[in-house]
Amino acid sequence: MQIFIGGIGCFWDETEYQGVPGILSTECGYCGGKSSTVSYEQVCGGNTEHIEVVKVTFDPKIISYEDITRLFFKIHDPTTLNRQGPNVGYQYRSEIFYSTDEERISAQKILDEVNKKLNNKVVTVIRKEKNYCKAEEYHQKYFEKRNKR
């Protein structure tokens, strides 16, 4: 199994990854900040340097890291800085977090392809994974929980 961590704006948009062959699970979390533990309130405060992310666990025998990266770029607007739709703030930035050099190279390759198609307007950042932590339970599968009530 392999992991992809990306900031696509609000992490409740984890639903965009559901139903894709090879994707085994998603988890809402925070990544990129100064501390190994944070809360939603702290992240929204803007001083932690964390962003909202979706951690995607996938089977690389079925779907590649590059294909997950392509999907990442399709499910959000990578040309808006610190914003996705109505969500505004640093914590909603477009960002990919890698854990290996191979992932970094793959992510950069796909970013370059997308950036060329979008006339060099992509603002997505690629950084080494730093201080990932799982978001609070009430954020996990948020839309599924709300629809069941």
Q: What is the 3-state secondary structure (H, E, C) of 95-106?
A: EEEECCHHHHHH
Q: Among the options 10, 28, 31, 44, which is catalytic?
A: 10
What type of residue is 91? Answer: Q
Q: Catalytic site residue 28?
A: no
CB-count burial class (<10 Å; 0-12, 13-18, 19+) for 34: exposed
**Distances in whole angstroms, Cα of residue 95 to Cα of each of 110, 120, 122, 145, 146:** 13, 16, 11, 27, 27
Residues contacting residue 39 through CB under 8 Å, at least 6 positions apart: 136
The CB density around residue 121, as the number of other CB atoms within 10 Å, is 12
Ordered alpha helix ranges (H), the chain: 40-45, 65-74, 101-117, 142-148
Q: Which residues are catalytic?
A: 10
